[in-house]
Each structure stands twice: as C-alpha cells, then as structure tokens.
Structure 1
Amino acid sequence: MTPQESTAEETAPPSDRAPGDGRPASAYNLGRRLRVMGAVLAGGLAVVLALLLWLGVLVPAKQEAAGYSDADSSYATLSVEHNAQAVQLAALAPGRSDDDEVLELAVEVGESSAARVRELADWLDARDIPVPAAGKEALALADAGLTTELPDDGSGPRAGSTAHSHEGGNHGMLTAEQINGIASLKSTDFDIALLAALVEHHYGGLQPADEEIEGGTDPEAVALAQAEADAIRVEVEDVRDLLASVGGPGSTNDETR
C-alpha cells in the first residue's frame, strides 16, 4: 500500500453502512432500538400478567385455602378503622367533660372498641392482610390511657388519622372537621356533642357487621361480626340514655331494637 493509499483510507468519510450489513447505519440503529423497546415492553407485559395472575388466581386460591373471602377481609379492615375512630372519640372526654357518668361511659366505649380493634387486627395478621394504620394508632392511644387528659393541640388526641376512606357519613364515620368541632367544646355542650356523635357512629357500625353476619365465609370473622353487632346494640342504648339525661336530643331511631 502506497502512502497515498493509506492517507486516502484514513481520511475517508465514515461509511453509512452497518458493519457486515448492506443496510444503512441509520436503519441498523433503528432496528436495534426497536429490539430494545420490544424487550422492555415484553418485560413490562410479563410483570402485568404476573400481577393479574396473582390477583385473579393466586389471591383467591390463597383465600379459599385459608377459608375467607373478600367480604370477610373487607369487613375486618373497615371495622378496624371504624372502631379506631370510636377510641379517638372516647379519648376526647378527659379534660373536656365535667360529668362523671360521661367520663365513665367514654372509657367503657373506648376500651371495648380497642378490644375489637385488637381482635380484628389479630384476624388480619393471621392471614397476612395489612392492618390499617388507624388501628395501630388507636391501640397506642388506648394504651396511653383513656382516663386522663392527653396532650394535644386543642383539637383532641388523634387516632385513626388515616382512617378516612369511609368518612363523611359512610358507616357513621365522622370527618376530621366534625371531630375538631366536638373537641372545641367543653362541659355540657361537649357531652351532648360527643354522645350524639357516638350514637350515630355506633349505628353506622351495624351495617358492615350485619352484612358480614349474612354473607361472610370465615366462621371466625362472622363470629367477630356477631359479637360486635351485639355489643353495639347494648352500648348504643346506654349512650342514648345518658344523652337524654344530660339534656341532649332524644332519638327515635329503632335500628338497634
């Protein structure tokens, strides 16, 4: 090779052909990008199919093997949140109520609601179903004590701050604004507002419990729902009687009878 030939090769413009291919380099690069994109899409599709398999086949199969259904797990999850809010309401009483009977009833409601949260959380844990954060917060609040005033910012001690997927009139759940309104009151005004809220809250808890009793699959979950419904029907009568004795409005709701 002459020096002239060597110089010509070194200075020759790059080829627009793919190595070992008759196609232009741009076409080669496009093909390579398409193959990469195809691999990525295939991987994503595999993930989606695996998720659908898990939700559509493996989860129901796991539920069937464990003897529970979606209705059972939905009831337990919702009821944890519902009872967590009852604990929160009961914890408002110390420092706001001057009535010994109201304070005593608040403790009873709070402790019974916390006990139901524990039972339902155990049921969920045993089946590897996540326990709502509201339940854990309520248990911590109950463990801190329902007979003494807890420090707060004036709007009341908070439990169940994450339990608002059913709030605003569904199953008797109160909104944060409604709870703040109750927490801003004192003495008789507070007593009436708290007891009236507990009446409506308890009535709201009857629906999911009764639905589980009628349509649940897991015997333990159905038994928990039955126990809850029975307790609600007793507790709400006590709350209504006390509400009337402190000058609150009478209730003509006969759902618990």
Structure 2
Amino acid sequence: MTSTTPRTRTLSRRVALAAATATAALVLAACGGGGDDDGATSGSSASATASAGAHNAQDVTFAQGMIPHHRQALEMAELAADRASSSEVKDLAARIEKAQDPEIETMTGWLKAWGEDVPEAGESMDESMPGMDHSGSSGMAGMMDDADMTKLEKSSGTAFDTAFLTMMVEHHEGAVEMAGAEKDKGRYGPAAAMADDIVTGQTAEIAEMNQLLGKKG
C-alpha cells in the first residue's frame, strides 16, 4: 500500500487550487460578457440623459402649462360618464382621456429629468403658473374658470352635452395655440412631436365637436 506523504498532499492541494482558479476565471469571463451589456446600458442611459438636456425654456413652459391644461380636460371628460346623454359625447370624452392621460405622464417625466418643477395635481393656477393673470379664463389659453367648471358639474343630459362641447372646443383651441408655440420655439424633439400630435388630434376633435353642436342647434 502506498503511503501519502506530506509532499504528495501538498501537490494535490496545488492541483485542486489550480482547478478552482481556472473555474473562477471562466466564471469571471462569463460575467465579463454581461459587463459589456451593462456598459452598453450605461452608455444608453448617458445618451438619454444628454438628450433630455437638449431643451430650452419654451419646452419647460410647454410641459408646465400643458400638464394642468390636460388635467382640466380630464376632469371635464370624467364628468361625461354619468352626466352626458349623447353616446357621441361619451365616446369623445373617453378618447380625450385615453390620449391626454399618457401625455401628462410623459411631460412629467421630462420635467423631472430636466430638474424642473412639476405642477401638482389640484394646485391653483396661481401656484402652477405664478406671475400670470388668472382672472376668468385668461390665465392660460382655453382654461375654464371655477364658475365654468361648477356649471358643467351641475349640468346633465342635453344641457351637459351642449355645455361640455362648447367648453371643450374652447379648451382644445387653447391647447392647439400652446402646442403651436412649442412647435415654433421649442428645442426638445419629443416635445415638438407631442405638440404636433396635439395640433393634429385636437383640431380634428374641434371639427367633430362643432359638427355635434351644429346638430344640436
């Protein structure tokens, strides 16, 4: 029987250590492949950050103004669910909600990326747009004042339909005006693209609402 000497045991340990080291190297190599992906991800994030910075004051004004503007449109649209009598008005209101809610989320993301203030839900016009004249509906193009919103909330049936369509036409016209300013003076590509969508979509809805109002007339 062959006895195991200390020298043999030492050699065995060295062989085992070498094998373990080789295995570890393979594992690290595999992880290194993932590291390349992480680097690509980091690069993409850096590019996104750089892109997010390519904006100007008009882009900020557009987002900070359009967020509360859209929020009011959503408030008006939500009232249609149990107050409108026309299925056409209810359908229009649903489409307004579907289009404008995601845009609010997108613009909120832009402002956060730019380090700018995001208008808080429910804050007054004076708080969201300081320094502007907020008497009546003059504070922002097409915005309804408290009296308008109260009138709409207290309406129902065909009276609601007429009030909703009349107010939303004015509201949309204001949004189109704001979007036009962004297209003319903005720098941030995604904001200009959204402004273009707003002009196209809401102009079409204005024509639709005027047609509905004509039917009621």
TM over 0.5: yes
Q: What is the aligned counterpart of 2:137 among 137, 149, 168?
A: 168
Counting aligned pairs with the same residue, the percent is: 28
Aligned equivalents of 2:81 and 2:190: distance in 1?
35
Aligned to 2:199: 229
Report the secondary structure of 1:174's partner residue: coil
Q: Deviations over 1:37-80 (max 9, x none)?
A: xxxxxxxxxxxxxxxxxxxxxxxxxx999111111101111011
Cα deviation for residue 161 of structure 1 reads 4.9
Distance in 2, matches of 1:68 and 1:121, equals 14
Question: Which structure's CA Rg is the greater one?
Answer: 1
Pairwise mapping of residues 213-252 of structure 1 onto structure 2 (< 5 A)?
Answer: 213-245=183-215, 247-248=216-217
Alpha-carbon deviations, 1:86-134, whole Å to 9, x = none?
Answer: 0011011122112212111111112212122122112222222222113
Aligned residue in 2 for 1:189: 159
Do structure 1's residue 126 and structure 2's residue 113 form an aligned pair?
yes
Query: Which residue does the alignment assign to 1:199?
Result: 169
Q: 1:219 to 1:108 in 2, by over 3 A?
A: same
Q: Confirm or deny: 8 A CA contact 1:109 1:235 kept in the other structure.
A: no
Q: Which runs of 5+ in 1 are unaligned?
A: 1-62, 135-159, 249-257
Q: Quote how far apart the aligned CAs of 1:185 are.
A: 1.1
Structure 1: how far apart are the matches of 2:54 and 2:78?
A: 36
Consecutive unaligned residues in structure 2, runs of 5 or more: 1-49
1:84-99 map, 5 Å: 84-99=71-86
Aligned length: 161
RCO greater where, 1 or 2, for CA within 8 Å and sep 6 or more? 2
Give the letter for the 2:163 counterpart: A
2:211 aligned counterpart, secondary structure: helix
* 1:100 alignment partner, one of 61, 81, 87: 87
Q: How far is 1:163 from its partner?
A: 4.1
Look up the SS of the partner of 2:118 in the other structure. Answer: coil
For the aligned residue pairs, the C-alpha RMSD in angstroms reads: 2.3
The CA deviation at 1:243 is 2.2
TM-score, length basis structure 1: 0.58
